[in-house]
Amino acid sequence: MTKTISVFGLGKLGFPIVACLASKGYRVIGYDLNPATIKAVNERQPNIHEPGLAELLEKVGDLSATVDYRYAVENSEVTFIVVPTPSQADGSFSTKYVEAAAGQIAEGIKAKRAYHLVVLTSTVLPGATEGRIKPLLEKVSGKKCGPDFGLCYSPEFIALGTVIRDFLYPDVILIGESDPKSGKLLSGIYQTVCQNNPPIVRTAIQNAELAKISLNAYVTMKITFANTLAELCERIPGGDAEAVSRLLGFDSRIGRKYLSGALAYGGPCFPRDNQAFAFFAKTVDCEARLAEATDRENEHQNERIVALVRQRLGEVKGKRIAVLGLTYKPETDVIEESAAVRISGALLQQGARLSVYDPAGLENARKVLGEKGVIYTTSAKACLKDADYCILATPWNEFKNLKPADFISGMKKPVLLDCWRFFDSDGFSEQMDYTAIGFYRGDKNEG
Distances (CA, A) of 32 to 40, 78, 136, 409: 11, 16, 20, 50
User: What is the rounded CA–CA span in Å between residue 155 and residue 174?
Assistant: 7
The DSSP 8-state label assigned to residue 6 in this structure reads: E
Distances (CA, A) of 266 to 235, 242, 422: 25, 21, 19
The per-residue b/e assignment along 11-40, b for 16 or more CB within 10 angstroms, e otherwise, is bbbbbbbbbbbbbbebbbbbbbeeeebbeb
Which residues, including other chains, have CB under 8 Å from residue 167's CB and lie 6 or more apart?
A: 16, 17, 20, 156, 158, 193
81 closest CA partner among 45, 117, 125: 117
Which residues, including other chains, have CB under 8 Å from residue 416's CB and lie 6 or more apart?
A: 389, 390, 391, 392, 407, 423, 428, 432, 433, 434, 435
Residue type, 88: Q
DSSP state letters, 85-136: --B-TTS-B--HHHHHHHHHHHHHHHT--S-EEEEE-S---TTHIIIIIHHH
| Residue of 152, 269, 383, 390 marked catalytic | 269
**Residue 9 · residue 37 · CB < 8 Å:** no
User: What is the rounded CA–CA span in Å between residue 135 and residue 106?
Assistant: 10
DSSP state letters, 276-323: HHHHHHHHTT---HHHHHHHHHHHHHHHHHHHHHHHHHS--TT-EEEE
Distances (CA, A) of 168 to 93, 192, 369: 27, 10, 36
128 closest CA partner among 174, 164, 92, 171: 92
267 closest CA partner among 307, 303, 308, 216: 216
Q: Residue 269 catalytic?
A: yes
**Residue 411 · residue 388 · CB < 8 Å:** yes
353 closest CA partner among 325, 378, 323: 323
295 closest CA partner among 321, 273, 319, 328: 273
Catalytically annotated residues = 269
